[in-house]
Amino acid sequence: MGMTMTQKILAAHAGLPEVSAGQLINAKLDLVMGNDITTPVAINEFKKAGFTKVFDKDKVCFVMDHFVPNKDIKSAENAKQCRQFACENCMTHFYDVGKMGIEHALLPEQGIVTAGDCVIGADSHTCTYGALGAFSTGVGSTDMAAGMATGMAWFKVPSAIRFELKGRLPSNCSGKDVILTIIGKIGVDGALYRSMEFTGEGVSSLSMDDRLCICNMAIEAGGKNGIFPVDDVTMAYLKGRGQRTPVFYAADEDAEYEKTITIDLSTLVPVVACPHLPENTRPASELEDIRIDQVVIGSCTNGRMEDMEAAYRYLNGKKVADGVRCIIIPGTMAIYREMIEKGYATAFIDAGAIVSTPTCGPCLGGHMGVLAAGERCISTTNRNFVGRMGHVDSEVYLASPATAAASAVAGHIVCPEAV
């Protein structure tokens, strides 16, 4: 029996000729990643187990992005612990104020992850890197500690669901509408511990930013990972970027999938996930009576340059509606700089929005946009659970950057016009 793309990567890293769904394996890791919230716990476990040095200073990466610049004493202490550990271990990849970014935007941009990698990260949205043709998945801090020490991790090989993409997206839709549509279709546990493997002729029409967004939210369907085939779009993105030589894998023609779900991209419309689950999706056009207090455009899901460009298209020359707070957060410092150079930052400020340094802050209700009781936010982030962005009586609506920006101008949820 043939193997899926994910299974081929896992087999190679386990040193096995083949693997099958449900098999337990021990695999070599190309990268172990953590952030300022999860890494301190991993460091404590690492030291508690008696380890003194990471397995490879080039293959352990810390990104200070959740509460950085530090918002309080506790977050400052956590970041300090990470800085000291990185220094003690002469780690190559430590990203802090001035060169940091939101981890899942930063690592692909800087070439720290590449095609064919096996990556774990102590953050659930580590599945983002499947857009590059890598196997990547989120783990807990204890598993991160073991990975830092040994360069190995155990996995149960996942079975797979194939998502066959056809056609092209309408101009007012993006990768966020694709993944929200899929989650609305299969539910938040529809791909539980499965590999979500995206195939079909429609893949070629999706940009790398679209693919990164789609894989980022595989976990919101319960997926172990999301993954795209390597094609010309992937190759163009990786060219001159990778810090390691990429390795390309492709699914066998006789690979076994639990099922195949066909998505015609040309039929999609802008959608919004209503409170309090990402599966609670409805067309944006059906929600236009819902007034909003806040808009957040950014995060590891939608903080990339195409997302900033979408926000610019709908905000340039316009004004954010009275009573609405619009917060725009570029995913990395490089994206921030490009925004400034292109005049986007000025346009956002003129529209009445604020532009923040890269941070995960509002996504998890940490800082830079915490909601009060009764407030509603339309956000390009990835989760809208009860209390996710602040008070338990607040509401979060998940949408694409285009929908969020258009709604900021309207003062209520709207469907963005095709442009």
Structure confidence by residue, pLDDT tens digits, 315-332: 999 999 999 999 999 999
Q: Is residue 277 part of a domain?
A: yes
Residues 180 and 206 in one domain: yes
Q: What is the pLDDT of residues 351-400, one digit of tens each?
A: 999 999 999 999 999 999 999 999 999 999 999 999 999 999 999 999 99
Domain boundary among 208, 233, 263: 263
Q: Is residue 315 part of a domain?
A: yes
Task: Spell out the residues 6+ positions from residue 215 whose beta carbon is closer than 8 angstroms to its own.
Answer: 127, 128, 129, 130, 131, 196, 225, 226, 227, 228
Domain boundary among 263, 285, 311: 263
259, two tokens: 């099922």
Residues 252 and 331 in one domain: no
Residues 333 and 197 in one domain: no
Task: Measure the CA–CA gap between 361 and 180, rounded to whole angstroms.
Answer: 22
Residues 33 and 64 in one domain: yes
Residues 224 and 301 in one domain: no
Q: Is residue 323 part of a domain?
A: yes
First to last CA, the chain: 46
Q: Is residue 398 part of a domain?
A: yes
Q: Is residue 230 part of a domain?
A: yes
Q: Is residue 1 part of a domain?
A: no
Domain boundary among 263, 294, 311: 263
Residues 369 and 237 in one domain: no
- What is the CATH number for 287? 3.30.499.10
- Total domains present in the chain: 2
Residue range of the domain that includes 280: 271-410
Q: Is residue 416 part of a domain?
A: no
Residues 230 and 278 in one domain: no
Say if residues 14 and 30 touch (Cβ distance below 8 Å). Answer: no
Residues 256 and 276 in one domain: no
Residues 215 and 298 in one domain: no
Task: Measure the CA–CA gap between 332 and 353, rounded to whole angstroms.
Answer: 18
Residues 100 and 176 in one domain: yes
**Weakly modelled stretches of the chain, pLDDT under 50:** none
Residues 289 and 258 in one domain: no
Q: Is residue 392 part of a domain?
A: yes
- Angle between the 344-351 and 305-315 helix axes, to the nearest 10 degrees? 40
Residues 252 and 289 in one domain: no
The count of residues in the chain is 419
Torsion from C-alpha of 392, 394, 395, 400, nearest 10 degrees: -110
Q: What is the pLDDT of residues 10-49, one digit of tens each?
A: 999 999 999 999 999 999 999 999 999 999 999 999 999 9
Instruction: Quote the pLDDT of residue 403.
Output: 97
Q: Within its chain, how far is the Cα of 125 from the centroid?
A: 5
Tokens 């936010």 found at: 377
Strands 160-166 and 195-199: parallel
Strands 160-166 and 294-297: unpaired
